[in-house]
């Protein structure tokens, strides 16, 4: 069972991102605030859940959360400010959209930049420890997957319906054959040397 909060007595927002390691598409981030006594034994790190369960829980989270938001940073912005800064910016944008100003922020991982004057805590593997971070991971992942399915209709040759923009062999083979699209992150190493790919 995940912990309901890191700090008691305040409205606490959990944040996480999705798509940081992808070669194409925007990076998404979510922020979620639950009531202090909220509990749901089904919510977990999105990577531990099936796609079907994630989509089911997305509806539950969006219904049950006191406030939630999802935000994006585009491939062009990623290329301009780098993926770490883009991931943090996406989380800041999600926090901007919350209808409740949090008294504390907890973030999955070990890197974050101060948001307003609100205290924050970075937590390695926080999405498997705290309910609000796990919920944010589910929202970020499901909203991003939905977005990549839309892009797949525009560019079906890259397999985004299946790989969601991650660097699979199928994805890189398509880049090699057809070249990058407007949605590819030009600052990323889209095509590493072929001899290195043999060991992937």
pLDDT, mean of residues 81-94: 98
Query: What CA–CA distance (Å, rounded) separates 30 from 8?
Result: 21
- Structure tokens of 61? 């989270």
pTM: 0.94
Q: What is the pLDDT of residues 186-200, one digit of tens each?
A: 999 999 765 444 444
Q: What is the pLDDT of residues 134-144, one digit of tens each?
A: 999 999 999 99
pLDDT computed for residue 193 by the predictor? 67
pLDDT computed for residue 1 by the predictor? 85
């Amino acid at each position: 069972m995940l912990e309901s909060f890191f700090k008691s007595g305040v409205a606490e927002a959990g944040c996480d991102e999705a798509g940081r390691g992808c070669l194409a598409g925007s990076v998404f981030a979510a922020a979620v605030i639950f009531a202090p006594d909220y509990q749901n034994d089904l919510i977990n790190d999105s990577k531990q859940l099936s796609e079907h369960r994630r989509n089911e829980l997305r509806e539950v989270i969006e219904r049950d959360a006191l406030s939630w938001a999802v935000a994006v940073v585009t491939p062009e912005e990623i290329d301009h400010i780098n993926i770490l800064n883009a991931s943090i910016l996406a989380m800041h944008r999600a926090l901007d959209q919350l209808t409740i100003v949090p008294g504390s922020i907890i973030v999955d991982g070990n890197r974050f930049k101060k948001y307003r004057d609100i205290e924050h805590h970075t937590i390695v593997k926080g999405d498997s420890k705290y309910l609000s971070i796990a919920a944010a991971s589910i929202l970020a992942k499901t909203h991003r997957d939905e977005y990549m399915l839309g892009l797949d209709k525009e560019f079906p040759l890259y397999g985004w319906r299946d790989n969601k923009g991650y660097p699979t062999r199928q994805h890189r083979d398509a880049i090699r054959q057809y070249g990058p699209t407007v949605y590819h992150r030009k600052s990323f190493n889209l095509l590493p040397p072929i001899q290195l790919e043999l060991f992937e």
